[in-house]
Structure 1
Amino acid sequence: MVVSIRPAVASVPVYRPGKPAPVGPDGVSFKLSSNENPYPPLPGVLAATQQACERMNRYPDMANTELTAELAAKLGVGVDQIAVGTGSVAVLYSLLQAVAGAGDEVIYPWRSFEAYPIAVQLTGARSVQVPNLSDAGHDLEAIRRAVSDATKAILICTPNNPTGPAVDHDQLAAFIDDVPDHIMIIIDEAYLEFGTAPHRARGLELVRPNVASLRTFSKAYGLAGFRVGYLVGDPQVAGAVRAVSAPFGVSLPAQAAAVASLSAEDQLLERVAELIKERSLVLDGLRDLGFAVPDSQSNFVWLPAGERTAEYSDAFAAAGLITRPFVDEPDAGIRITVGEPEANRLILRVAESLPR
């Protein structure tokens, strides 16, 4: 007899990670497909990680005690409001498992983070996808209209991955006030630190019993390879996430690196400021070339390409730039991570040669 796999698992969409960078004609190779921070670890962070590796024969602190205390102090919240996991996406999976199941609905904008359909389907719930506005941002009014008696959770991605815009704070606050209190609202702020728009959403200020913020050390803090993310929410919600999460998930070196990164935050945010400058260069350059690129409050830009998406992606790859094409119609396009200055200037040189 063959083992029976749950239908929700057997038919789950495949998450496609960014491909390795190709080598261009001049030996150039830049991976711009995974929104990674291009800067190497700071010496202090690396030293803390190496010291932690000397204790790799021991289990990590399952409660993430030191990291949780540091985060609580930094954010001005209680330690009982924080749940740490292996990246914000793992925290999302745990939270959805805690609040949604068969027969329920989870609403989220689309296009948005590729992991959302997978996370929802694994709970047995049904995805309700609401198209973005023409400016590639969320349509909060349409999301509110999609709420039904079966709705258990709503995902808001700000800044939105892969299109870039951030949700307006006052609009999101009004939206939350209008949604029934029994529905869990999850604000995914993985790219929070890259935002500069004055009216961008400030998720921490909106946390309440049915609203939680997801954050990560993968992007601005440059710890993508260690997988550390966290939730800030109501103590009951944070406790549910901790209860559902796998024991000992965040490794000893990962916890040490995250704590050291918080201590080195000023240096790390200097790097973020440089990436923001480079983002402006790429955005302005693409627009000067005639591309209708939406605003980005993240460490990537979205290049709408329609039926030319695969063609454009191949052109970037031929020059040694691996980007992230999304070929689904009608919103096909390419997400391009803001990388090293040399990579960003090569993006514009390739873009200048692209057919329109």
Structure 2
Amino acid sequence: MIHRPRILRASASIRKMVQETILQPHHLMAPLFIVEGENIEEEISSLPGYYRRSLDKTLEEVSVLYELGIRSVLLFIKCPDHKKDNAGTEALFEDGLMQTSIRAIRKHLPEMLIMTDVALDPYSSYGHDGIVKDQEIVNDLTVDVLAKMAVSHAAAGAHFVAPSDMMDGRIAALRQSLENAGFHNTGIMSYSAKYASCFYGPFRDALDSAPGFGDKKTYQMNPANRIEAVKEVLLDVSEGADIVMVKPALSYLDIIREVKNTTHIPVSAYHVSGEYAMIKAAAQKGWLNEDQAILETTLSIKRAGADLIATYFTKDIVRILNNA
């Protein structure tokens, strides 16, 4: 034989030397769920080992993440039911929980990159990502509110706004609004190919943001479609997105690769709550090795083409990599 591929697998040192996919802590984004109050740290039942935290506890967590080498957090707000309406009113207040949290993190740890969720579902009395009229999610009125929300986040100090709503034309509207308000350096990480997935259940538990009627299939994408994802990504790039995202990750690795091959800007992927919960549940049953499953699935997302990965396993991944 003249070809012996096993030579490159003969030892741990050789395998590491020729490893094609490299995963580092700075490739990860840590989602954080923030609630009103003080000294609150409550575990999310459907996301074992993950927590909702008040702002004071969130600042402590940000410090821990930074020490581990994580350089980006993705902020989500749990809005109390009595503050929800059909106009996103609570989302726009200068002293709202999101805006206050951004300013606090910027002051506490200026080096941490802050990305903020821009969508109406946490603030909506209907649990939808947009304004509802006659049981329909209205696109253009929603985009107007999203643009104002993005500007308010930028004014508070967000480095990137991350619209997750899947409304048409919202990237152009956000970019123009940010420019008009003088926030030329605020980036947009667009959830460009966000599918109508069953894997979002634990996330909706975390924020109490499940739709109050119907589903989200009129704006989130059909899981059967691949070419549509490319179209959505190219539209967002043309409208001014700086980073594009595919969500979920594990069931859409082919889409991540398709997007990576199509575009020339960074590609992110969201390793979503249901994917996290599946691994946790199987590990608790003793059906698989949790650390190995975490690393293998995260490497698969990176290998597929994701430059950045939002995942609830951030701290676990760093621990595993440090012990490798």
Q: TM-score range by the shorter chain?
A: under 0.3
Which one has a larger percent helix, Structure 1 or Structure 2?
2
TM-score for both structures, normalised by structure 1:
0.25
Question: What TM-score, normalized to structure 2?
Answer: 0.27
Higher strand share: 2
Larger RCO (CA under 8 A, 6+ residues apart): 1
